[in-house]
Amino acid sequence: MKRLIALLWAVLVLATSAGALEVEAPSALLMEKETGTVLFAKDEHAKLEPASVTKVMTLLLTMEAIDAGTLHYDDMVTASAHACSMGGSQIWLEENEQMSVSDMLKAVCVVSANDCAVALAEAVAGSEEAFVDRMTQRAAELGMADTVFKNATGLPAEGHVTSAHDIALMSRELILNHPDIRQYTTIWMDTLRDGASSLVNTNRLIRFYEGATGLKTGSTDSALYCLSATAERDGMELIAVIMKGSTSAQRFEDAQALLNYGFATYALASAAPQTPLAPVPVSLGTQATVQPVLGAGDRLLVEKAQAGSLTQTVELAESVEAPVAEGDPLGTMTVTCGEETIAQLPLVAGEAVPRITFGQMLLRMLRMALLSA
Give the start-to-end residue ranges of the domains of the chain: 2-266, 280-359
Instruction: Identify whether 55 is a catalytic site residue.
Output: yes
58 Cβ neighbours under 8 A, 6+ residues apart: 108, 117, 120, 121, 131, 135, 152, 153
Task: Specify the higher pLDDT residue, 270 or 258.
Answer: 258
Separation in Å, CA 153 to CA 88, 173, 232, 238, 309: 10, 19, 27, 24, 47
Statement: residue 219 has pLDDT above 50: yes
Q: Report the alpha-carbon distance of residue 60 to residue 67 in Å, rounded.
A: 10
Q: Can you give the pLDDT at residue 67?
A: 97
110/342 Cα distance (integer angstroms): 40
| Whether residue 228 has pLDDT greater than 60 | yes
Task: List the catalytic residue out of 52, 89, 163, 219.
Answer: 52
DSSP 233-264: ETTEEEEEEEEEESSHHHHHHHHHHHHHHHHH
pLDDT at 14: 43
For residue 232, what is the enclosing H or E element? strand 224-233
Residue 11 has φ and ψ, to the nearest 5°, of -60, -40
Q: How far is CA 356 from the centre of its chain?
A: 43
Please give the pLDDT value at position 37.
Answer: 96
Spell out the residues 6+ positions from residue 31 whose beta carbon is closer than 8 angstroms to its own: 37, 38, 39, 168, 171, 172, 238, 239, 241
The model's confidence at residue 17, banded by pLDDT at 50, 70 and 90, is: very low
Which residues are bridge partners to 123 per DSSP? none
Which are the contacts of 84, defined by CB distance < 8 A and separation ≥ 6?
Answer: 93, 94, 95, 97, 115
Q: Is 270 a catalytic residue?
A: no
Say if CB 153 and CB 54 are below 8 A apart. Answer: yes
Determine phi and psi for 232, rounding to 5 degrees.
Answer: -130, 135
pLDDT at residue 18, as a whole number: 46
pLDDT digits (tens, 9 = 90+) for 112-154: 999 999 999 999 999 999 999 999 999 999 999 999 999 999 9
DSSP β-bridge partners for residue 215: 229
The yes-or-no verdict on residue 363 having pLDDT over 90 is: no
> What residues contact residue 67 under an 8 Å CB cut-off, 6+ apart?
178
Of 17, 27, 33, 55, which one is the catalytic site residue? 55
Q: Where are the alpha helices (DSSP H) in the chain?
A: 2-20, 55-68, 81-84, 101-111, 114-125, 128-141, 164-177, 182-185, 205-208, 248-265, 358-372
CA angle 173, 176, 181 (to 5 degrees): 90
DSSP string, 107-144: HHHHH--HHHHHHHHHHHHSSHHHHHHHHHHHHHHTT-
- Tell how many helices (H) and how many strands (E) occur in the chain: 11, 18
CATH 2.60.410.10 holds for 280-359: yes
**Mean pLDDT for the chain overall:** 92
Query: Which 8-state DSSP code applies to residue 324?
Result: B
Name the helix (H) or strand (E) containing 217.
strand 212-220
Active site residue 52: yes
* Residues ≥6 apart with Cβ < 8 Å to 48: 27, 161, 162, 163, 164, 223, 226, 243, 244
Question: Which CATH architecture is the domain 2-266 placed in?
Answer: 3-Layer(aba) Sandwich (3.40)
Per annotation, catalytic residue among 112, 163, 171, 219:
112
Of the candidates 323, 316, 313, the one whose C-alpha atom is nearest the C-alpha of residue 348 is 316
Residue 372 reports pLDDT greater than 80: no
What is the pTM (predicted TM-score) of this model? 0.87
Average pLDDT on 298-308 reads 90
- Please determine, for residue 212, whether its predicted confidence score (pLDDT) is greater than 90: yes
